[in-house]
Every structure is written in structure tokens, then in C-alpha cells.
Structure 1
Amino acid sequence: MTSVTSELTEEEIASLEKYANEFLLGLARTAYAHSTIMFFVMGLQCFMCVYGLQVHLETASQSRKGRIPYIVLSWIVFGTSASATLLTGVAPIPYLAKFTPAKVEDILPGGSLYEEGLLSGSTLKRWSYISNSLQFIWVQCLGDGMMLYRCFIIWNDIKWVLVLPSMIYLFSFGTGIYNIVHDPKGTSETILANIKIFASTIFNILATLLIVYRLTRWRKKLSIALPSRRLSVYSGAVAILIESGLPLAFFGVATSILHLVVSSDTTLQDDIMSPAHTAKVSGALVVTGFYKAFTIISPQLVIFRVTMGRSFTNKDEVVSTLTRNHGRRPVPKEIH
């Protein structure tokens, strides 16, 4: 490293140090924004879990059937994501506590900042990184698993429809574990990590479309067969799925694209110390924060709706809930 610095002019050294400090400052700001988003999500989850449990306890026992697994799942997701959020918020403290203006010897390969992975574009196998990644994948596995289960409820009469989403679900989970074990480094493994995000995004889009399609189809049939019955709950069920699924799909695709763009700047020769790279990294961190937020919030919204008694827990409840108290005329068999 000494030979490298000796070949640099004072102007080049000053330029490198300037860009490094701007990069680290931008990194600190975006890390703070990322933590703020996740802490907001943690508070929102806390409200939904506590309020949902309160409503459940106040509900008549005959109406509680099938809701307990959703209540338990909601608290597991909240506990896991909250611990990951706290861990993510605490992890940067040692770096911020010893933060000083960067020197050229810290920037180049072999320097302290480069070896810590802050400037090299790599990810270190620190306990905080591994633990946080495992917790996030666990939350994602639970949320996607719930969506797959609800697809099974809706499509249990045509089970072959579930083959593709089931395969994508298993592939996404397996790829996530593989990435943690092998600690992604370099463009090829970054592409593999993004494949995992794309797979999870595609799964959520596919699962949402499958559920929305059948709910909409049933609503249309019911509105024709039973025109006097109010079917607004159908519209609400479709709306909550679309509202929770679309943001997750959008930020999933955006996260993958931005990570690929950032991973292309892997060395100083690729202008990693430029303001453009700082903007790319900052944007990727913020978008990743929103992606993680909606990965957590999307299943929680569905669970919250179930605990409020506004969504189904089994197939028979789909029609009975949606047509309850709107007359005594039987539901046509072709709706089922």
C-alpha cells in the first residue's frame, strides 16, 4: 500500500480523501434513514399485534375458530423483525463512535476502511450481518408461507395450480440460505443474491394474482346469482391484497436493480469513490429499507384483517363470511 500512495500526487490524495469522507457521511445518513423506516415498521407492528390480540380476546368463542395460528404468526413475525431492527440499529454504533476523517492509507486496499468492507463493495461475515440476514429470511419465509397457505385454501380443489408458486417459494428460501452460508462477494454472487429477491417478488405477485383472481371470480358469480346481497367484503379482501402486494413487488424489483448497479462499482478503477457511487449506494440502502418494511408489513396487514374478522381462515368461510347477514337464500353450489 505504501508503494501505491507514493505514486499518488497530493492532489489525488486530497481528492480520494474528500470522496471517501463524503461517501462515509452519506452512508451514515442513509443508514439512519434505513433504521428510522424499520423502527417505524416495528411500532406499527406492535400496534397491530396488541390491538389484534385485544379484539381476538373480546370476540365470541365461536367466532375465534381458525384465528389463533394467525395471532401466533403475527407475534412471531413481530418479535423476529423487532430483534433484527434493534440489532441493525445497534451494529453501526461502534463505527460511528470511532468515526474520524478518512486518510488515504485507510482507503486503499489493505487499509482499515477497505478491510471492513465499507469501501471495497464486499460484505463481511460479522455476527450482526449473519444474524440480521437469518432473521429477515425467517420473517420472509413465514410471510410467504402464509400467502402460500392461503393460496392452498382458495385453490384446494385445483391443487396443480399451486405447483409453480410452491417451487418458487422453496427456491427463494434455499437461495437465501445459500447466500448467507457463502457470504456473497463479487458480481456473480451478487447476481445470485438478486435472483433470490426476484424469486420472492415473483412469488408474491403470483400468489396475489391467484388469490385476487379467484376472489374476483367468486364475487362476480355471487353478484349474478344473489344480486340482493352486499358483497363489499369481497372488494375489501381484493383491495388489501393488491395494496399490500404491489408495493412489495415494486420495491423488490427496484432493490434488485439498484444492487446490480452498485455491485458494478467494485474497485477504485471503477470510480467507486465518486459522488455518483455515493448516490447509488444511498439509493440502494433506502430502497432496501422500504423493501424490508413491506416484506414485514404485507403479511401483517393480511393477518390484521383476519384477526378483525374481515378475511377468511378456510375455504368455507370465504363465502359464508362474504355473504353473512345478507339474506337466507342459499349460496349456489357452482360458487364453491
Structure 2
Amino acid sequence: MDANQNLPLERSWYIGNTIFAILYGVELCMFFLSSYFLWKSKSDNSRKFYIIYGAILTILITIAMSCNLFFGQMMWIEHRDVDGGPVAYFGENVQAWYNVFGTAADITADILSNALMLYRCYVFWGSSSPWAVVFPGLLFLSSAVMGLISTVQSARADFFAAVNLVIPWLVLTLTFNVVTTCMIAFRLVSVGRGLRQILGKERAEVYTGVVAILIESALPFTLLGIGYVITYVRNDPEALAFASIWGCFVSLSPQAIILRVSLGAGWTKQTISQYGTDTPFEFSAASRSNGTALQTIADSRTGKESAGGSGSTSTFPVFSRKQDTTTSLVDIV
């Protein structure tokens, strides 16, 4: 293979690493913002979990990006004159420790990301149909095991050398993402119809709008995964770019969910336990007269006063005027 034939592969990886670096900066900003808002909130249970979870994801994605950039330095700068050029060096050093380390970090981040998606799926479906999360749970366990085995295979040339385990892992994790994305998106669309009738379009938009569906269901992450699998199976050069971008969204998508939760705009167990996810919605007369947590959040964004009466509104905490108790939309039990 001559140099001109290698150029598409090199361009693809270079573009992928560049976009990865840009998205990494976005992920860092989201992590620090969400950590700040969670730290200022009154919800001790959720803030500790989400801050630690976000920090672990950030560390893992930092390792993955650093290893990718170091591999690029070794390929394009330190050893650019090897026989066959940078692509030949890349093929001969796929099992180098830094590449395996970066792959392991990315796969670990993917397992953590899928775990959060499984939990979010349970949040939306567990109260009414707990059995609905059984199939996604089995897919999650299968993809996690296959991902760990793929990591071992990438480090050892003699480990299942005749079988490429990357494709089964990609198919399993992509299937899991498609299933959970569809389940969450369907739930949000169903909830949106009832909320718009009860709360009005502006208030319901906070929780069931297009942005909410995109983030809560991790739709961009799933679409990128589909693109990666297609290009990888076809052996297209663009697979390298998709791999880098998809690898960054492993951390970016859950961090976006955490940021929504920290801002009081994300669905949580407490939100669903109070109002449920079944439609049509039936709010009691007391709830309509005293205001709801959803209304409080929406009012704080639209500048309107809560239906519960006069007074200022706040996102953290939300005060129930009827029972004189304090609750938070970011509590997880």
C-alpha cells in the first residue's frame, strides 16, 4: 500500500483526535459546572454519587485521550520514517501498552456510561413495569463481559487470535444503547402529552422537550455508535474518526445528564415517585392549588410565579407549602 492510499486513514484518525480534543474541553466544562451546582445543592445523597461518578468518567476519558495523542506523536513524529510510514507503525504497535491502556480506559468508561443508562431506564420504567429493564440488564451484562474480554484480546496477540471479539462487543453495546434510547425517548414522548395538558407547553418543555429527549435518551451517542459499527464492519477509513468521537461521547452523554440533574431539569426517582410516568396524569386538587415541583422548576426558567400562590421560587430546594417539608429534585433514594 503506497503513501497516497494511506492518507485517508491518517486523515481520519487526525480529524477524530482533533474533534475528541474539542469535545473533551466541553466535557470538562460540563463536569465542573455540574459539580459546582451539585455541591451547592441540599441533596447530599445525589451530589456525592454524581460528583464521584463524573470525576471517574473524566479521569477515564482523560487517560483515553492522552493515550490517543501519545500514539499519534509516536506515529507521526517519533517514528514517521519507518518502512511503510505511519500507518505501518500504527498496525505494528496496536498492542503497545499505551494503546491498550487507552482502550481499557475507554471501555471502562463505556461500561459506567451504560450502567447509568440502565439506571435511568429503571427510573423511567421501574415504578410501573420493573420487568421492562430485564432485557436491557442482560444486554448490559453481556456487553460489559465482552468489552473486558476485548480489552484482554487487544493486549495479547495469542488470545482468541482467530476470532475478532470487537465486533460482538460493538454489536452488544450498540444494541443496549438503541434499546435504552428508544425506551427512554418513548417514555418522555408519552409523558409529554400529559404534561402539556396539565402544565402548559412552556412548563412541560423543560422536562419533555426536544433537548430533554436528546440528552435523557443519549440519542447522539447512540447515533454515533451506529455510524461507528457500520464503518468498522465495512472497513472504511472513517471508522477511526467515528471511534474517537464516539469514545468521547462515552463520557460526554452521561455528563450532560448529570448537568441537567444538577440544574433541577432532569428526571429523578423522586420526581417520578411523586407524579409517575403513566399517562394521563391525575394531579390532586391540593397539588394543583399548592403548586408542584415541576411547576417550580419551569417557573424559575420562564420567570413566572408558581401556581401555588405568591412568593419567590427556587430550584434548590423545593418547598412543599402543604406539608411544610423540603424536597429536592436531585435526590436519589
Same fold by TM-score greater than 0.5: yes
Aligned CA distance change for structure 1 residues 261 and 187 (closer, same or farther; 3 Å): farther
Unaligned 5+ segments in structure 1 are: 1-15, 263-279, 331-336
Written as runs of structure 1 = structure 2, the 5 A alignment for 1:126-165 is 126-157=96-127, 158-165=129-136
Q: Which structure would you say has the larger RCO, counting Cα contacts within 8 Å and 6 or more residues apart? A: 1
- 1:312 is displaced (CA, Å) by 2.7
* Structure having the larger proportion of residues in helix: 1
One of 291, 294, 314 as aligned partner of 1:322: 294
User: What per-residue deviation string (whole Å, max 9, x for no partner) do you get for residues 221-259 of structure 1?
Assistant: 3444566993222224x6333256332222212211222
1:309 and 1:98 map into 2 onto residues whose CA distance is 49
User: What per-residue deviation string (whole Å, max 9, x for no partner) do you get for residues 7-61 of structure 1?
Assistant: xxxxxxxxx5xx1x234554444333222122112211111111222223344x2
Written as runs of structure 1 = structure 2, the 5 A alignment for 1:220-235 is 220-224=193-197, 230-235=203-208
Structure number with greater Rg is: 1
2:200 and 2:265 map into 1 onto residues whose CA distance is 21
Q: How many residues align?
A: 280
The residue number in structure 1 matching 2:149 is: 178
The residue number in structure 1 matching 2:219 is: 246
Given the alignment of the two structures, is residue 91 of structure 1 paired with residue 63 of structure 2, yes or no?
A: no
Given the alignment of the two structures, is residue 208 of structure 1 paired with residue 178 of structure 2, yes or no?
A: no
Aligned CA distance change for structure 1 residues 224 and 138 (closer, same or farther; 3 Å): same
Contact 2:206 2:212 in 1 (8 A): no
Q: Which amino acid aligns with 1:189?
A: V
Written as runs of structure 1 = structure 2, the 5 A alignment for 1:286-297 is 286-297=241-252
Given the alignment of the two structures, is residue 52 of structure 1 paired with residue 52 of structure 2, yes or no?
A: no
The residue number in structure 2 matching 1:298 is: 253
Q: Which amino acid aligns with 2:120?
A: R
One of 153, 166, 189 as aligned partner of 2:163: 189
Contact 1:66 1:313 in 2 (8 A): no
Written as runs of structure 1 = structure 2, the 5 A alignment for 1:249-288 is 249-262=222-235, 280-281=236-237, 283-288=238-243
User: What per-residue deviation string (whole Å, max 9, x for no partner) do you get for residues 111-149 of structure 1?
Assistant: 9985x562xxx7742211221111001111111111111
SS at match of 2:163: helix
SS at match of 1:91: helix
2:87 and 2:181 map into 1 onto residues whose CA distance is 43
- 1:301 is displaced (CA, Å) by 0.9
SS at match of 1:42: helix
Counting aligned pairs with the same residue, the percent is 22
1:113 and 1:228 map into 2 onto residues whose CA distance is 54
The residue number in structure 1 matching 2:287 is: none
SS at match of 1:139: helix
Contact 1:88 1:132 in 2 (8 A): yes
1:45 and 1:83 map into 2 onto residues whose CA distance is 14
Q: Which amino acid aligns with 2:15?
A: A
2:28 and 2:6 map into 1 onto residues whose CA distance is 33
Aligned CA distance change for structure 1 residues 54 and 176 (closer, same or farther; 3 Å): same
1:138 and 1:284 map into 2 onto residues whose CA distance is 20
Q: Which amino acid aligns with 2:102?
A: N
1:137 and 1:87 map into 2 onto residues whose CA distance is 13
Contact 1:144 1:169 in 2 (8 A): yes
Unaligned 5+ segments in structure 2 are: 276-291, 300-305, 310-319, 321-333
1:39 and 1:208 map into 2 onto residues whose CA distance is 26
One of 259, 262, 269 as aligned partner of 1:307: 262
- 1:179 is displaced (CA, Å) by 1.3
Contact 1:198 1:252 in 2 (8 A): no
